[in-house]
Amino acid sequence: MEKLVYLIDADASLPGADLRGALIEKAAPALRAAGATRITVNVEDEHVAQGGGVKIMRADPPLRAMVSFWLESADDRGPCEAALSPHGAALTGYLVVESRPLIHHPPVGERAAGANLVTCINRLPGISEEEFIDRWNNEHRKVALETQSTTAYVRNAVVRALTPGAPQRDGVVEETFPIEALTDPHVWYDCSDEEEYQRRLARMMDSVNAFLDLEPLISVPMSEYFLG
């Protein structure tokens, strides 16, 4: 089995509810018919509308959704891409290796609690792939879990691009936060006072700056819908 991740760019004016409906009601059944399992739809919808302050986006049209699923072989992805491509302005796919440092169990067919921050990351120029993986999997994992209010954490390490012209990416990260974290940094950093918040923020930024290239980074809060 192989895990595939598809990022969907769509016009900013498209209502999130419409995009969600199209992906869950139209694309997902076609994915399942094509052999996909463990389908998850993440979409920037009305439930995370308050998250504009934490969004990092440089593309136009912007990233609005991510769909992930498992196939017996990525070679057979053609029908899956055909099912997804009508629902956005651009479709970018990656074959990934998944690891879950912090596990949660979202309800099947319903919106998961909180907000799922989907972040596309690149290795800092000048460091080796080995150092990148080591920092991401060890030191940064420790920092993230000790400084933030995350309730789930999924690392998708990119093996290769699946769609022509896909931007170079080294990983796609999913981090689930309480919905209140979108507007309250103290909730995000799981603390009750400004001094502790600043300490945790500084620790996080030191870790991020040690292994990530922040220039191409994009990060969007989404609602997660695990369809099974």
Residue 1, classified by CB atoms within 10 Å of its CB into exposed (0-12), middle (13-18) or buried (19+), is exposed
Q: What is the DSSP string of 40-103?
A: EEEE--GGGGGGGGG-B---SSPEEEEEEEEES-GGG-HHHHHHHGGGSSEEEEEEEEEEEEE-
Q: What is the DSSP string of 106-142?
A: PPBTSBPSSEEEEEEE-BPTTS-HHHHHHIIIIIHHH
Give me the number of domains the chain comprises. 1
Asked whether 227 and 24 are in contact (CB, 8 A), the reply is yes
Q: Give the H/E segment covering residue 225.
A: strand 218-226
> If we measure between CA atoms, which residue out of 105, 46, 87 comes closest to residue 228?
105
Please give the biggest Cα pair distance in the chain: 53
Say what the pLDDT of residue 59 is: 82
Say what the pLDDT of residue 116 is: 98
CATH number of the domain at 109, please: 3.30.70.100
**What is the extent of the structural domain holding 14?**
2-226
Q: Phi/psi of residue 47, each to 5°? A: -70, -20
Positions of the chain with pLDDT lower than 70, given as ranges: none
Say what the pLDDT of residue 14 is: 95
Distance CA 202, CA 207 (A): 9
Binning the chain into helix, strand and coil, the percentages to the nearest 5 are 35, 35, 30
Say what the pLDDT of residue 58 is: 84
The 10 Å Cβ neighbour count of residue 128 is 9
